Structure 1
């Protein structure tokens, strides 16, 4: 197991190398506007996962995935030359859906803001249907009869039949 700090540094270096190589070395016409967003290396430094996004529609994303899969060997050799490590990790490209998810969340939050504003507008002139404070208040100390409890007075319990007495 390698040092986690070393794995993080290698991941950052792989991200830089791959993004520069995609821009300058890969001339595949299927490759769209690809942005490398992140790279992660396993603890043993044997495998690297490179996350990327593609600007465009679903067909451009699919074509770019095929282009990256076919260019994996060239990119791996470039990583090996520029890092100088003994064993070059295998590269796996994964489409990053975080920007799409973030956009969808932003749109959902905007819809909620509009709904809240509409609800606040409706609520401005509203009044209560009943009392303003519908909750019961506890009785004041002077209002209760002395000698009564929740279960009733001692006389009430004595008059009740034997089977209906509650054990308190």
Structure 2
């Protein structure tokens, strides 16, 4: 028996809510470093955890301070986790709001790396 698409649908709703909160509600200056985007949210099958993947756009990919700035953004989101969970609970009727885990989405860096490899093959 399949589990259905509930975790995917729930993850998408949580992604929309977090994105809206970052845009309108959260006033942490660490979130103003670049454009912060929630690229995906993966919810576990039992709904107890939700991993939100964060991309910080506008940072120089070669800049040596990039990792520190990304960590600052993650820390700002972690400090606002209670507010974010409360808003998720208000907007989505759930018995248990998943615990949030924030991680940097490295897929853009990986894609950039693959592009460089392909370009070097042509030479």
Shorter-chain TM-score tier: 0.7 to 0.9
1:85 aligns with 2:94: yes
What is residue 47 of structure 2 aligned with on the other side?
Answer: 45
The answer for unaligned runs of 5 or more in structure 2 is 60-65
* Structure 1 residue 84: Cα displacement: 1.3
Alpha-carbon separation, structure 1, partners of 2:79 and 2:15: 18
Query: For the pair shown, which has the larger CA radius of gyration, 1 or 2?
Result: 1
The answer for unaligned runs of 5 or more in structure 1 is 115-168
State the secondary structure of the residue aligned to 2:95: coil
Question: Aligned match of 2:121 in 82, 100, 112?
Answer: 112
RMSD: 1.4
What is residue 10 of structure 2 aligned with on the other side?
Answer: 10
Indicate the structure with greater strand content. Answer: 2
* Structure 1 residue 86: Cα displacement: 1.2
* Structure 1 residue 71: Cα displacement: 0.8
Write the deviation string for residues 93-135 of structure 1: whole angstroms up to 9, x where unpaired. Answer: 0111010010011011111112xxxxxxxxxxxxxxxxxxxxx
Q: Which runs of 4+ in 1 moved over 2 A?
A: none
State the secondary structure of the residue aligned to 2:26: coil
What is residue 101 of structure 1 aligned with on the other side?
Answer: 110
* Structure 1 residue 59: Cα displacement: 2.5
